[in-house]
Amino acid sequence: MTRSSPVFYDQSTDTMYVTFREGHVAHTVAHNEHDYAVDMGEDGKPMGYGIQFASKHPDVMAEALQILQRGGRKAA
C-alpha cells in the first residue's frame, strides 16, 4: 500500500488508515468492539491500522492530525 501521506481518510465510508511503515502485511488483528484493525508485518510489528466510523473516534483523528503535522513521522 503506497500513498503520498501516512494518513488516508475516505469520507464516503468514514474510514481512516494510518501507515506506520511500508512492507508486506502478514496478518490483520481485528478489534471489532473498538472499530479498528491493526496490520502486522512478517516481523510481528505493526504496519498500520485502519479504523471504521473514524469521525466517531476523535482521539484517533487527533492522533492522525499530529502525525501529519510531524511530516508523517510517528512519535517514538
What was the pLDDT predicted at 32? 82
Residue 39 to residue 19: CA distance in whole angstroms = 9
In the structure grid, which three cell numbers stand for residue 43, read together? Answer: 516481523
Q: Is the dihedral of CA 14, 76, 31, 22 positive or negative?
A: positive
74 within some domain: no
Residue 75 to residue 43: CA distance in whole angstroms = 20
13-57 confidence digits (pLDDT tens): 999 998 989 999 999 999 888 888 989 999 988 899 899 999 888
CA distances from 20 to 12, 13, 33, 73 (A): 23, 21, 22, 8
Residue 64 to residue 70: CA distance in whole angstroms = 10
21 within some domain: yes
Residue 65 lies in domain: 7-69
Q: Residue 72 pLDDT more than 60? A: no
| pTM listed for this prediction | 0.72
Structurally, the chain folds into a number of domains equal to 1
